[in-house]
């Protein structure tokens, strides 16, 4: 296929699965005629028809509810929410029905649906279009929450999400939609859910991040190589459930842990990672765990946006601090 962007990889994965599985349908606001606000679904309606790529009303609770109904009756809906700020009306349907239906029916009915949405800041959008709200969905039993951080991982993880027998919330880092390109083979091969990806090996400190913050985390790790600091960089990828075994194995080797995410500090997924390491790997640690995150405040508009989000310098500062202890 050659080098493509993350948004192209999303489109490719949906097209592959629709081509090979007639039960896969796509729905959402402007996903058909217009190809989606970010063009993730461009060309799908022309290729697969209006019965499988459906434009919906501007009603996010309806989109989620219809998807749950479709999934319970044998379809595999992939629903798009235009912006992360519009995803909150879906929470009623997702927590009360999507995540519970398998348990409620004692396994007779599953909900193989994917709820896609852009996520995160860095694009100078209004604050309710720039939030990182993965913790909402990570806290819902019965639902997976996945965040890709590269075109190749977006392609493979979305394929896995569509094929999963249970609901998956798939949050796509908006800042990374067209940030860079990567060679992706359009071969239909899925990547494993519920697994971390080790992007860089190192012996001195473990860095755990996900989504768009992987970019800054890898950059900080590379810059510190010049000072002889070896950082092991782990992409969490599936933020619920957390692959704690991979993280613990790394922390046992390095003895230090820095967690990076752009969502607010309090009650975030990073807090859960820290708690799990403290619970299961406390005696591996040579220094306190450090977290580099957004602030416990509403994402500020435009000029202050980058001051809110973790920077390379903030990450490097946390790494140096944990190495001092």
129 is catalytic: yes
Delimit the domains of the chain by residue range.
3-183, 197-324
CB neighbourhood size of 285 (10 A): 18
The model's pLDDT over 233-277, given as tens digits with 9 standing for 90+, comes to 999 999 999 999 999 999 999 999 999 999 999 999 999 999 999
Sign of CA dihedral 192, 186, 70, 85: positive
Could you give the CA distance from residue 170 to residue 193 in angstroms, rounded to a whole number? 11
CATH T-level topology, domain 197-324? Rossmann fold (3.40.50)
Indicate which residue of 97, 124, 128, 129 is catalytic: 129
Stretch 124-138: mean pLDDT, rounded? Answer: 88
Other beta carbons less than 10 A from residue 32's beta carbon: 22
Domains 3-183 and 197-324 share a fold: yes
Backbone phi and psi for residue 280, each to the nearest 5 degrees, phi listed first = -105, -15
pTM over 0.95: yes
Looking at the domain that runs over 3-183, which CATH code has it been given? 3.40.50.970
pLDDT of 287 > 70? The answer is: yes
Query: Considering the chain, what percentage of its residues have pLDDT values greater than 70?
Result: 99
Decide if pLDDT at 181 tops 80: yes
Beta bridge partners of 115: 79, 169
pLDDT of res. 1: 66
């Amino acid at each position: 296929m050659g080098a493509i962007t993350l948004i192209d990889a999303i489109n490719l994965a949906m097209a592959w699965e629709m081509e090979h599985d007639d039960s896969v349908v796509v729905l959402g606001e402007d996903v058909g005629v217009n190809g989606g606000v970010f063009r993730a679904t461009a060309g799908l309606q022309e290729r697969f028809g209006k019965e499988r790529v459906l434009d919906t009303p501007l009603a996010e609770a309806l989109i989620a509810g219809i998807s749950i109904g479709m999934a319970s009756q044998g379809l595999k809906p992939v629903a798009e929410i235009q912006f992360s700020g519009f995803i909150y009306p879906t929470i009623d349907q997702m927590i009360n029905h999507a995540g519970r239906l398998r348990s409620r029916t004692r396994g007779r009915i599953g909900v193989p649906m994917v709820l896609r949405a852009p996520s995160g800041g860095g694009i100078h959008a209004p604050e309710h279009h720039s939030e990182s709200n993965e913790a909402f969905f990570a806290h819902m039993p019965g639902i997976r929450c996945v965040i890709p951080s590269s075109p190749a991982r977006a392609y493979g993880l979305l394929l896995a999400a569509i094929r999963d027998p249970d609901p998956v919330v798939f949050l796509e880092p908006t800042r990374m939609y067209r940030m860079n390109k990567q060679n992706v083979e359009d071969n239909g091969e899925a990547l494993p859910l519920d697994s971390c990806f080790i992007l860089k090996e190192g012996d001195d400190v473990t860095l755990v991040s996900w989504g768009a913050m992987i970019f800054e985390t890898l950059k900080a790790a590379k810059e510190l190589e010049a000072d002889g600091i070896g950082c092991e960089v782990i992409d969490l990828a599936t933020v619920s459930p957390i692959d704690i075994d991979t993280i613990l194995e790394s922390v046992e080797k390095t003895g230090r842990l820095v967690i990076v995410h752009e969502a607010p500090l309090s009650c975030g997924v990073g807090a859960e990672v820290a708690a799990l390491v403290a619970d299961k790997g406390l005696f591996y640690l040579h220094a306190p765990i450090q977290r580099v995150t957004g602030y416990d405040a509403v994402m500020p508009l435009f000029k202050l946006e980058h001051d809110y989000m973790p920077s390379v310098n903030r990450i490097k500062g946390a790494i140096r601090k944990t190495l001092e202890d």
